Amino acid sequence: MPEAEVVALNGLLLVVGGRRAEVPASIADGIVAATPTCVAVGTRHPVDGPVTVSLATIGSRESGALLFDGLLDTPDLEVRVEDVNAVEYLKLSVGADRVRVRVFTDDVSEPGVVAIRIS
């Protein structure tokens, strides 16, 4: 399972389905916000240490709090995890132009572990 330890700029990870993803304008409630092409996930602040993020298909190790369960448009037939400057951390090829995304974390307010599962 692809996994990376990252220092998330601004305490934010983006799960995107295409190069022209529309990033949510803000995160009003909780730590997750979404558009049809992007899921923004808040993480702990960079000064508090790195975040471990994984990207895999559903059925891979899933634990923690389920913070998001929704659909993501994937016109490029891939899902990427990147920072706010479009620096790519992880990438997973998919076989459809829309996939289900589930985001699990170890903490509901400032996660240090983020598990992204795709189906």
H/E stretch holding 55: strand 51-57
Q: Hey, what are 12's tokens?
A: 């934010």
pLDDT at residue number 1: 60
φ/ψ (deg, to 5) at 75: -60, -25
Sheet containing 12-16: order of strands: 32-35, 38-42, 12-16, 78-82, 88-93
CA distance 70 to 36: 9
List the domain boundaries for the chain.
3-118
**To which CATH superfamily is domain 3-118 assigned?**
Competence, DNA-entry nuclease inhibitor, ComJ (2.60.34.30)
Q: Which residues pair with 40 in a beta bridge?
A: 14, 33
Mean pLDDT, residues 28-41: 88
The 10s digit of each residue's pLDDT in 42-87 is 999 889 999 999 999 887 667 788 999 999 999 999 999 999 888 9
Confidence class for position 30, pLDDT limits 50, 70, 90: confident
